[in-house]
């Protein structure tokens, strides 16, 4: 697993770099509470989707999730969108493109270098659900990972 | 030569400022008599109101048009950039047909345009119109649909598509006001308003201000039907109902991406039947799956307005012959394509397993709309022919063309029982695709390109339809049609149908360039195809080629030769006599 360089090492990375044992412990915890795109919703429907019990149980906790980084909204954004498959469309390049139904918005604890959208990444951070509008961009999300960091897998 | 060029340049520079003003509607606009439209003049400089002179056929415009425009001292662009003064007169109507020469002068700026206002027959020719639009329907799609569905023996088709027997035809030009190429928004808007407009625009002329909802409006066909008749209106699509094509029946925006606003515009016009996908924009932002940025619950607003709701195939069937308005939403986004929905169960069919198809929806729409003794206008869109052609997924596009043709069959059956019905079948634009032969797995070797048969080597494909449902029993037969795109991003050609789900030819890298999707690299025999579009293109693009329109029924005689898509509106308006005061 290769770490991507960041402008500033996060606290979690610092601990990981300085003390091997706690970092391994943190990884093990992350693995216990991994979430997949298939596990996001308990019910699909025209009148709305319903988050799964697993999402509700893990809310507020540290989780890990694998996916792909969609092309960032803007270069300096503190967040990106995690998708199940590599994004074939840039939702902001063409007005008839739209986001897929199952996305997770990732707010980084610290800025990190963006990676190739075809690269599978693992995101770790605190899971949060419910409608929230990004004050800077107006982007509305229903599922987020906050204080996140990621690495390629 | 050099002197000539210099002289030409000098003239151009001198002529420049005098030509900078814009007038909407544009020069050569065709306008239905009595149809409301917004008149806007955009000047390149800031001027005083008393310095602007506008005449219509030599007369002061206030007398000639019967209204006074609001003077806008200064319009601003992005980042408050000063754009110049403007005049805006909303909801103007001209009832007398004829040529209207509009001239403006403001300081050194002058501009003149001529509009052609037309009236229609005094009496309607047909009681009902069914307008069926195959989004992206190209000649190759229909040829492939015919061969795949009916088969071919010794060079003669073994059967005919429903669209093959519509006798009146025209070639349709689809270009936009700002580009030779087109998109589904502006071209459907031209069909549905009689005015051409710019790429991404619906029911408006594209003005210079950043707000996408303030542009000068023109009346849509559904609005004209509401204004002049007591007929019902129906909209059926397999896309999101707020997607460009269904939206253009009713909506007004410079930006087809304003889908949340389009839902409100649909509610304003209240089509008696509205069926398709796109519920995400009907749900308040607190609901998982919503794509709104506010908490408006449009499901409830439609229900409060008297709509019955259907969310799957069973609920649609249960509502088939009920009274009252019907809202059917069967997916949060675009509905799954026929191949996935009915056969492969791929795409999002596991999440929305009970979606109706275009045929079911068209039948229910006709059942309900035909209850109105005054008649109806129904728009049916085969949406995914285009949505599957962009990613070069020709099998999915062709199977959806077969489904679209079956919906035409439903319309033709209705027409037999109700001969006072005009049927129009067309596309909004084409794609750069052709059939060039077959791919034959039995040919020797492992290289798939060596299995491509052209000319005599092509033979005939071996699709079978033993259950007689009109669809091939399987699409991955050993000798298949080979469709090929003349444009696209970098991608891998696999020479095989994409059985695992819709094709994703290219994905974006961190430099925002689209590169071939490596997922297909190791498919046996796959070859890399270098793209010929800019690396910002994620898929194949619409072609500028003419579209074929076919028609049958009273009013169909209006279609012949070459027409612009904006001319098609005039035939529709004439068929319903929307330019004349009707006696009934």
* Residue B498 near chain A (CB below 8 Å): no
- Please check the confidence at residue B304 and state whether its pLDDT lies above 50: yes
Q: Which 8-state DSSP code applies to residue A112?
A: B
- B351–A46: do the CB atoms touch at under 8 Å? no
Q: What is the pLDDT of residue B522?
A: 95
Q: Mind telling me how many Å the CA of A132 is from chain B's nearest CA?
A: 8
The pLDDT > 70 percentage for chain B reads 96
Q: What angle separates helix B565-575 from helix B221-228, to the nearest 10 degrees? A: 20
pLDDT at B187 over 70: yes
DSSP reduced 3-state for B265: helix
Q: How confident is the model at residue B12 (pLDDT cuts 50, 70, 90)?
A: very low
Res. B320: pLDDT tops 80: yes
What fold is seen in the domain A36-152? Answer: OB fold (Dihydrolipoamide Acetyltransferase, E2P) (2.40.50)
Q: What's this model's pTM, rounded to 2 decimal places?
A: 0.91
B15 phi and psi angles, rounded to 5 deg: -75, -25
Residue B72 has pLDDT above 70, yes or no: yes
**Of the candidates A90, A131, A143, which has its C-beta nearest B285's C-beta?**
A131
Write the pLDDT tens digit of every residue in A37-96.
999 999 999 999 999 999 999 999 999 999 988 876 666 668 888 988 887 665 554 455
Q: Do A142 and B333 touch (CB under 8 A)?
A: no
**Can you read off the two tokens belonging to residue B490?**
């970098």
Please spell the DSSP secondary structure of B420-441, one letter per residue. Answer: SEEEEEEES-EESEEEEEEEET
The tens digit of pLDDT for each residue in B372-410 reads 999 999 999 999 999 999 999 999 999 999 999 999 999
At B112 the pLDDT is 97
Q: How confident is the model at residue B189 (pLDDT cuts 50, 70, 90)?
A: very high
Give bridge partners of residue A26 from the DSSP assignment: none
Chain B: closest CA distance from residue A102 (Å): 8
pLDDT at A100: 75
Nearest to A138 among B257, B293, B348 (CB): B293
Report the mean per-residue pLDDT for chain B.
Answer: 94
For chain A, where are the alpha helices, taking DSSP H only?
A: 11-18, 20-32, 53-58
- With 70 as the cut, is the pLDDT of residue B450 above it? yes
Place of tokens 């279609």: B559
Burial of A105 (0-12, 13-18, 19+ CB in 10 A): buried
pLDDT higher than threshold 60 for residue A9 = no
**Cα–Cα nearest to B142, from B430, B458, B551, B455:** B430
Buried b (16+ CB within 10 A) or exposed e, B7-24: eeeeeeeeeeeeebbbbb
Average confidence (pLDDT) over B479-508: 95
Closest-CA residue of B relative to A75 is B510
Site from B289, B296, B506 to mutate, A interface, most A CB atoms within 10 angstroms: B289
Q: Please answer whether residues B373 and B527 qualify as being in contact, where contact means their C-beta atoms are separated by less than 8 angstroms.
A: no
Residue A30's pLDDT is: 44
Backbone angles phi, psi at B21, to 5 degrees: -70, 155
Tell me the chain B residues in contact with residue A101 when contact means C-beta distances shorter than 8 Å: 280, 289, 332-333, 348, 351
* Per-residue pLDDT at B508: 83
What distance in Å separates the CA atoms of residue B461 and residue B451, rounded to the nearest whole number?
13
Residue carrying the six token digits 């092309």 = A71
Q: Do A48 and B289 touch (CB under 8 A)?
A: yes
| pLDDT tens sequence across B26-62 | 999 999 999 999 999 999 999 999 999 999 999 999 9
| Buried-state track A54-72, b at ≥16 Cβ within 10 A, e below 16 | bbeebeeebbbbbbbbbbb
Structure tokens at B118: 């037309």
pLDDT interval class at B264 (50, 70, 90):
very high
A35: Cβ–Cβ under 8 A, 6 or more apart, which residues?
A54, A55, A58, A63, A64, A65, A127
Question: Given pLDDT bands bounded at 50, 70 and 90, which one contains residue B439?
Answer: very high
Evaluate whether B430 touches B139 at the Cβ level (below 8 Å).
yes
């Amino acid at each position: 697993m290769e770490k991507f360089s960041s402008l500033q090492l996060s606290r979690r990375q610092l601990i990981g770099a300085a003390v091997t044992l706690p970092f391994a412990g943190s990884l093990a915890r992350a693995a216990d509470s991994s979430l997949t795109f298939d596990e996001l919703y308990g019910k699909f429907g025209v009148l709305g989707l319903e988050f799964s019990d697993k999402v509700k149980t893990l809310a507020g906790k540290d989780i890990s999730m694998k996916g792909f980084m969609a092309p960032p909204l803007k270069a300096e954004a503190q967040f990106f969108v995690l998708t199940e498959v590599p994004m074939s469309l840039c939702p902001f390049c063409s007005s008839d493109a739209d986001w897929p139904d199952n996305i997770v918005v990732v707010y980084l604890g610290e800025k990190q270098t963006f990676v190739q959208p075809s690269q599978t990444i693992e995101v770790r951070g605190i899971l949060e659900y419910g409608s929230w509008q990004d004050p800077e961009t107006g982007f509305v999300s229903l599922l987020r990972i906050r204080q996140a960091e990621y690495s390629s897998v | 030569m050099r002197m000539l060029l210099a002289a030409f340049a000098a003239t151009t520079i001198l002529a420049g400022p005098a030509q900078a003003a814009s007038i909407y509607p544009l020069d050569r606009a065709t306008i239905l008599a009595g149809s409301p439209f917004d008149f806007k003049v955009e000047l390149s400089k800031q001027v005083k109101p008393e310095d602007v002179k506008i005449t219509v056929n030599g007369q002061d415009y206030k007398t000639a048009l019967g209204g006074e425009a609001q003077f806008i001292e200064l319009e601003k662009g992005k980042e408050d950039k000063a754009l110049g003064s403007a005049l805006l007169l909303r909801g103007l109507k001209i009832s007398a047909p004829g040529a209207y020469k509009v001239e403006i002068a403001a300081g050194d700026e002058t501009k003149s345009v001529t509009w052609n206002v037309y009236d229609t027959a005094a009496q309607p020719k047909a009681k009902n119109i069914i307008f069926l639009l195959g989004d992206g329907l190209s000649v190759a799609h229909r040829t492939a649909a015919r061969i795949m569905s009916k088969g071919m023996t010794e060079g003669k088709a073994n059967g005919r598509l429903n669209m093959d027997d519509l006798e009146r035809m025209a070639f349709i030009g689809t270009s936009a006001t700002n580009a030779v190429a087109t998109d589904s928004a502006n071209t459907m808007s031209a069909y549905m308003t009689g005015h051409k407009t710019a790429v991404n625009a619906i029911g408006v002329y594209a003005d210079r201000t950043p707000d996408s909802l303030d542009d000068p409006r023109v009346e849509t066909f559904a609005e004209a039907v509401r204004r002049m008749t007591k007929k019902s209106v129906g909209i059926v699509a397999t896309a999101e109902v707020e997607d460009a094509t269904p939206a253009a029946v009713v909506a007004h925006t410079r930006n087809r991406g304003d889908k949340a606003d389009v839902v409100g515009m649909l509610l304003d016009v209240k089509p008696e039947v509205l069926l398709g996908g796109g519920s995400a924009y009907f749900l308040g932002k607190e609901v998982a799956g919503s794509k709104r940025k506010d908490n408006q619950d449009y499901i409830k607003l439609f229900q409060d307005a008297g709509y019955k709701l259907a969310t799957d195939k069973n609920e649609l069937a249960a509502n088939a012959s009920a009274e009252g308005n019907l809202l059917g939403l069967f997916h949060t986004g675009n509905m799954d394509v026929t191949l996935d929905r009915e056969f492969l169960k791929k795409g999002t069919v596991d999440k929305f397993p009970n979606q109706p198809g275009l045929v079911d929806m068209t039948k229910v729409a006709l059942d309900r709309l035909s209850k109105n003794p005054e008649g109806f206008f129904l728009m049916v869109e085969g949406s995914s022919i285009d949505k599957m052609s962009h990613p070069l997924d020709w099998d999915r596009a062709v199977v959806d063309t077969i489904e679209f043709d079956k919906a035409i069959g439903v319309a033709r059956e209705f027409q037999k029982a109700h001969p006072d019905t005009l049927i129009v079948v067309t596309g909004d634009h084409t794609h750069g695709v052709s059939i060039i032969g077959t791919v034959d797995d039995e040919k020797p070797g492992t290289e798939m390109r060596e299995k491509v048969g052209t000319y005599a080597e092509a033979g005939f494909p071996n699709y079978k339809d033993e259950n007689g449902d009109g669809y091939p029993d399987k699409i991955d037969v050993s000798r298949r049609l080979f469709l090929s795109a003349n444009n696209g991003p970098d991608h891998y050609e696999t020479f095989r149908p994409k059985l695992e789900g819709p094709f994703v030819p290219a994905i974006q890298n961190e430099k925002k360039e689209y590169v071939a999707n490596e997922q297909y690299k190791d498919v046996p025999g796959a070859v890399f195809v270098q793209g010929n579009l800019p690396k910002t293109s994620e898929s194949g693009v619409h072609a500028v080629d003419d579209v074929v329109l076919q028609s049958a029924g009273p009013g169909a005689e209006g279609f012949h030769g070459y027409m612009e898509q904006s001319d098609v509106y005039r035939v529709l308006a004439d068929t319903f006599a929307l330019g004349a005061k009707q006696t009934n």
